[in-house]
Amino acid sequence: MEKTIIEVDGMSCGHCSAAVKYLIEELDGVESADVILAEGKAIVGFDREKTDPEAIIENINSSETYKARLK
């Protein structure tokens, strides 16, 4: 399992962090997701053979509410 840190803009409450966590975890290959609202970031564990950081960021950004990028 690899890990990456993704910065996420646009989160302002617990509902936001839960929504971002859902957007991350719905992808095949994601093994863990810890969203830290106060720091505006997500720490994601994933299987490189099934997904990659770019796909995770793309899925978060598809919401049009949150803007994600690699830290």
Q: 39-71 pLDDT, tens per residue?
A: 999 999 999 999 999 999 999 999 999 999 998
In words, the CATH class of domain 2-70 is alpha beta
* In the chain, domain spans: 2-70
Decide: residue 10, CB within 10 A, 0-12 exposed, 13-18 middle, 19+ buried: middle
**DSSP bridge pairs for 32:** 45
Give residue 12's pLDDT band: very low, low, confident or very high (50, 70, 90): very high
pTM, two decimals, is 0.93
Q: Looking at the predicted structure, is the pLDDT value of residue 19 above 90?
A: yes
